[in-house]
A and B are shown apart, each in its own frame.
Chain A
Amino acid sequence: MSITKSPKVLLNVEWQAGEAAELWDAITDQQLADWEALWQPALREALQRLHREKVPLERWPQSRHWDWRRKAASIRGLLANPAFSVMCGGVTQGMMILDTTRRRCRIESQKGKNLVYVEYIENAPWNREQLFKPSRYKGVGTMLIRAAIETSVAEGFKGRLGLHSLPQSNDFYANTCRMTDMGSDARYQDLHYFEMTSEQSEEFIARGARS
């Protein structure tokens, strides 16, 4: 299977300037090796600190038990589940798995239409201010959401997206991505379901074009 690696840029927080990065349209053994050898130890270190500082469990990262090796294995080879990863400095900075067949829009104006659903999206531990101050890179989230939008366009779904946000990410999806918050979803552990219309996806893209 051929993998496309597009040149991109992340914001290096220390330099306050861009650093060359890549967007891959796959999650390969290389990303999974980084997840095991680099993400997991960093996450454990951060959790031990949170534990020592007696931070309540509700504020621990809610994706802390995600098993990306298992997730990647479950979608391997399936056209319905494209995956993406972000690389910078030779290291995996973010990963995302999409679903392009099973879900439909809930917003009244587009109800029943196909959309691309973000199954899982995660930032590397060292990019998360909640875990490591200062964080290392910014821009992983917006880059991956853009990739999801482009996938939606390619499928003929005009940029429509849906996802269940982890509670600590509600602000990102509501205010940075400006998706519609459809409230907590009892069928998904009361996580908030967010949906992006075609118009909202165009607005999202346009926002980055303005400086």
Chain B
Amino acid sequence: MSTKRTMTLNLTDTEMQVLEDLCDKKDLSKTALLRQALRLYQVVESRLEKGEKFFFEDDKTKEKAEVMML
């Protein structure tokens, strides 16, 4: 399954802190987490392109708040 290619990522201190906190929380390495983010981004984009909408729903009130991605 494909050779891997390496890239360098420049992040601000704050961004790096957010990344590290997420990694701790989700027990994932930085690479694993960013690969997850890429997969999720691609799925969302693909469905938006098909005309679907992306929502969060309040579990109690069942109210939907639209999350737009461009």
Contacts and interface: CB of A to CB of B under 8 A. Distances in A.
Contacts of B29: 156
A196 B56 CA distance: 29
A: interface residue count bin: 10 to 19
Contacts of A100: 36, 39
Given A78-B46, A79-B42, A100-B39, A113 B1 contact: no
B1 A114 contact: no
Most chain B CB within 10 A, of A77, A80, A113, A155, is at A80
Contacts of B27: 113
Size bin of chain B's contact surface: 10 to 19
B43 A80 contact: yes
A113 B42 contact: no
B56 to A, nearest CB: 15
10 contacts: A2-B2, A77-B46, A78-B39, A78-B42, A79-B35, A80-B40, A100-B36, A101-B39, A155-B35, A155-B36
